[in-house]
Amino acid sequence: MALEKVIVIDKIEIVGKWKHVQVRTAEQIVEDGNVISQSFSRHFISPDKDSSNEDPQVQAICEVVHTPELKAQYAEHVSQNAPVEGGN
């Protein structure tokens, strides 16, 4: 009965107009090859974020969907919708 903690990326999704890449990670406790417990966490990568520290599969997806055109459009969207300091 050897217990092992395993962390795996179990889901990668492309979400919304701006093609945010959403990554779900499962933290699993495995006993003799069987998952006996798991919990999930998520994070996302927007077109303006660096994906170089991500898993190679996630990096490859970001490279495909976060085109230079999409990045430029997203940057324009963000700059036009930035909160105004001191505004109510």
Helix (H) or strand (E) holding 85, with range, is none
Asked if pLDDT for residue 72 goes beyond 70, the answer is yes
Polymer length in residues for the chain: 88
pLDDT, residue 86, reads 65
pLDDT, residue 88, reads 55
Q: Which residues pair with 28 in a beta bridge?
A: 6, 38
Average pLDDT value over all residues in the chain: 94
Residue pair 21/31 in contact by the 8 Å Cβ criterion = no
Query: Binning pLDDT at 50, 70 and 90, where does residue 69 land?
Result: very high
Asked if pLDDT for residue 8 goes beyond 70, the answer is yes
pLDDT, residue 64, reads 97
Asked if pLDDT for residue 77 goes beyond 80, the answer is yes
